[in-house]
Amino acid sequence: MKLVSLNCENCNAASELTVEDDITIAFCAHCGTKNLLDDGVQKIQHCIKKEDVARIKESETLLKIKEMEFAEKEKQRLADTEKSELRVGFLVIAIAAIAIVAAIGYIVSCVA
């Protein structure tokens, strides 16, 4: 066992801990920040507060929501494009039908 003096990187609270020799992680009693230890001497390698982890997860969730919204908008845009293409196709068929009827009417009037 060893005595470790810890100054939290986040809130700078000082504390002394008695820890086992193989312990490499200590949590601040004041703010809950995870502090990594090395050889009984405090060496902050990485400091993550629980709130930061929650914010990261929240950001990841918001990103997934935005990706889903984008995918839905893209799907709707493609559906709208297909509808527009169908309308144009029907319009071309209608114009062709009118032209055929007009041509038949002209031919019939010329023959008669």
| pLDDT cut 70: percent of the chain above it | 87
Distance CA 64, CA 67 (A): 5
The pTM of this model reads 0.41
Average pLDDT, the chain: 82
Query: Between these two residues, 112 and 9, which has the higher pLDDT value?
Result: 9
Distance CA 66, CA 50 (A): 24
- Tell me the average pLDDT across 26-44: 68
* In a domain? residue 39: yes
- pLDDT tens track for 39-88: 544 444 445 566 677 788 889 999 999 999 999 999 999 999 999 999 99
Count up the domains in the chain and report the number.
1
* In a domain? residue 108: no
Report residue 6 as tokens: 């810890």
* In a domain? residue 24: yes
pLDDT given at position 38: 62
Using DSSP's 3-state secondary structure scheme, residue 66 falls into helix
Beta-carbon contacts of 14 under 8 Å, excluding residues fewer than 6 positions away, are: 5, 6, 7, 8
pLDDT given at position 40: 45
Domain extent at residue 44: 2-48
109 pLDDT more than 80: yes
* In a domain? residue 103: no
Name the band, by pLDDT with cuts 50, 70 and 90, for residue 29: confident
The phi-psi region of residue 90 (left if phi > 0; otherwise alpha if psi is between -120 and 50; otherwise beta) is alpha
Distance CA 43, CA 9 (A): 10
